[in-house]
């Protein structure tokens, strides 16, 4: 006897069948949806969200709105979008770096759950997925979306419709991205007027990856990259991780870039930032009136001095050993000269030794003498 039923479950079942009642079956879509994971994101002003390191394009009508997403943690290529319990379809993948959610990164998917039969079954019903959900609404999905947008901000209805048109047009417009266009987009975003040869070379390499990318969408993503990175750090912190960002050659950063770093750090403040560069980074770059706010946020200053004479000798020998040179090819008298002309700075030591090797080869000498280093010093003007 079941207390709430007033009879046994078996008798209740039999009486239900005799009375003509039937089981209420849930659709496969509802069952599949019930076991999906849930998360919330705010759509950027460019119609993009960041999730688990991936980038997704969202319907332009949801710009600046907080949406709910449902997903299978093993298959992040399909992310379903909802706003106020209404379904808005699948998010369009922009950049899928991780197919699996980090919560299941070390877990293999159960083959019984994702069998060949189940995949084929879900593939067959996917074509009817949108129609099924539309039938749950009293009016067509498109009308509902427009009514909802107008209901949120009636006075902004015209603007919302214009933004939607622009967004859809940008998504549907497919065009190849020229190399110079890509360079201009990135340099403008970084506020760099004159790119060095090395910087241009790096951007040319990156262009090979992005040359088929939608130009307008690339501009939007680059403009919104700060928010995306901050979201990434927030997600990492939620997992108990704390990141450290190291910027090398920081002495070459512009004043505008220092100010951008300062505001970016203030927005997140959930990671450590290390600026590494030549002495002028501290002596000049961070002593300007425009960069003082950035300097005031630095907790620790560390200036690496030059190597001592004995350290210089050990440094050179270490590199020769790494190159497989067993015999002494530098006269011992050379080390004081080398240390004096380079002040023990590793980069200068590297350059001086390289030029000395070339001079020895040209002179057909097997041992580098102090005369050669003195000649090198005149060429590269250390003193």
* pLDDT of 18 strictly over 70: yes
pLDDT tens digits along 125-166: 555 544 544 555 444 444 544 544 444 444 444 444 444 444
Q: Rounded to two decimals, what is the model's pTM?
A: 0.39
Out of 51-55, 279-283, 361-365, which region has the weakest mean confidence (pLDDT)? 279-283
Q: Which residues contact 57 (CB under 8 A, 6 or more apart)?
A: 47, 48, 91, 92, 93, 94, 171, 217
| Phi, psi at 329, each rounded to 5° | -115, 0
Examine the pLDDT at 58 and tell me if it is beyond 60: yes
Residue 171's φ and ψ, nearest 5 degrees, are -70, -40
Whole-number percent of the chain with pLDDT over 70? 72
Classify residue 93 by burial, with Cβ atoms within 10 Å: 0-12, 13-18, 19+.
Answer: middle
Most confident range (mean pLDDT) of 82-96, 176-190, 258-272 is 82-96
- Averaged pLDDT of the chain: 76
pLDDT tier for residue 40 given thresholds of 50, 70 and 90? very high
pLDDT at 147: 46
DSSP collapsed to 3 states, the chain: CECCCCECHHHHHHHHHHCCCCCCCCCHHHHHHHCCEEEEEECCCCCEEEECCEEEECCHHHCCCEEEEEEECCEEEEEEEEECCEEEEECEEEECCCCCCHHHCCCCCCCCCCCHHHHHHHHHHHHHHHHHHHHCCCCCHHHHHHHHHHHHCHHHHHHHHHHHHHHHHHHHCCCCCCHHHHHHHHHHHCCCCCCCHHHHHHHHHHHHHHCCCCHHHHHHHHHCHHHHHHHHHHHHHHCCCCEEEEECCHHHCCHHHHHHHHHHHHHHCCEEEEECCCCHHHHCHHHCCCCHHHHCCCCCCCCCCCCCHHHHHHHHHHHHHHCCCCCCCECCCHHHHHHHHHCCCHHHHHHHHHHHHHHHHHHCCCCECHHHHHHHHHHHCCC
Q: What Rg do the C-alpha atoms of the chain give, in angstroms? A: 32
pLDDT over 90 (residue 190): no
311 — pLDDT class (breaks 50, 70, 90)? very high
pLDDT at 324 over 90: no
The whole-angstrom distance between residue 152's C-alpha and the CA centroid of its chain comes to 33
Residue 254: its pLDDT value, please?
74
Q: Which residue has the higher pLDDT, 107 or 32?
A: 107
**What's the first-to-final CA gap in the chain, in angstroms?**
101
At residue 159, the pLDDT reads 41
pLDDT at 69 over 90: yes
Give the residue-averaged pLDDT of 78-87: 88
Find how far residue 210's CA is from the centre of its chain: 15
Q: What is the pLDDT of residue 25?
A: 59
Q: How far apart are CA 46 and CA 59, in angstroms?
A: 10
> What's the average model confidence in pLDDT over 112-130?
53
6-10, 104-108, 290-294, 336-340 — most confident range? 336-340
Residue pLDDT, tens place only, 332-367: 888 998 898 888 888 889 999 999 989 888 888 888
- Angle at alpha carbon of residue 130, lines to 126 and 131, rounded to 5°: 110
Rounded Cα–Cα distance for residues 39 and 52 (Å): 11
Q: What is the pLDDT of residues 206-264, one digit of tens each?
A: 887 777 777 776 777 676 666 667 677 777 777 788 788 888 888 887 777 777 777 76
């Amino acid at each position: 006897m079941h207390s709430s039923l007033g009879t046994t479950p078996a008798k209740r079942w039999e009486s239900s069948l005799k009375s003509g009642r039937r089981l209420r079956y849930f659709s496969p879509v509802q069952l599949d949806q019930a076991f999906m994971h849930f998360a919330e994101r705010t759509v950027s002003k460019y119609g993009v969200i960041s999730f688990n390191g991936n980038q997704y394009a969202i319907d332009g009508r949801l710009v600046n709105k907080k949406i709910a997403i449902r997903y299978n943690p093993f298959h992040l290529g399909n992310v379903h979008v909802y706003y106020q319990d209404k379904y808005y379809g699948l998010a369009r993948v922009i950049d899928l770096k991780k197919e699996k959610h980090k919560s299941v990164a070390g877990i293999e998917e159960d083959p019984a759950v994702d069998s060949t039969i189940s995949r084929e079954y879900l593939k067959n019903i996917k074509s009817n997925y949108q129609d099924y959900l539309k039938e749950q609404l009293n009016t067509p999905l498109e009308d509902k979306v427009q009514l909802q947008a107008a209901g949120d901000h009636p006075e902004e209805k015209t603007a919302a419709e214009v933004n939607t048109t622009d967004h859809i047009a940008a998504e549907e417009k497919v065009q190849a991205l020229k190399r110079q266009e890509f360079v201009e987009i990135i340099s403008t975003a970084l506020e760099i007027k004159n790119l060095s040869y090395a910087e241009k070379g790096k951007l040319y390499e990156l262009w090979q990856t992005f040359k088929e990318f939608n130009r307008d969408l690339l501009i939007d993503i680059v403009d919104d990259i700060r928010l995306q990175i901050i979201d990434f750090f927030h997600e990492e912190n939620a997992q108990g991780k704390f990141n450290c960002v190291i910027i090398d050659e920081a002495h070459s950063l512009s004043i505008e870039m220092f100010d951008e770093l300062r505001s970016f750090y203030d927005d997140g403040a959930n990671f450590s930032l290390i600026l590494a560069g030549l002495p002028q980074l501290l002596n000049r770059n961070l002593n300007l009136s425009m960069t003082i706010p950035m300097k005031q946020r630095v907790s620790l200053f560390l200036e690496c001095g030059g190597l001592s004479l004995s350290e210089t000798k050990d440094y050179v020998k270490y590199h020769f050993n790494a190159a497989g040179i067993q015999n002494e090819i530098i006269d011992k008298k050379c080390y004081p000269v080398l240390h004096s002309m380079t002040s023990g700075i590793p980069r200068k030591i590297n350059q001086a030794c390289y030029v000395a090797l070339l001079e020895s080869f040209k002179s057909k000498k097997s041992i580098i003498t102090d005369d050669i280093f003195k000649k090198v010093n005149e060429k590269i003007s250390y003193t």
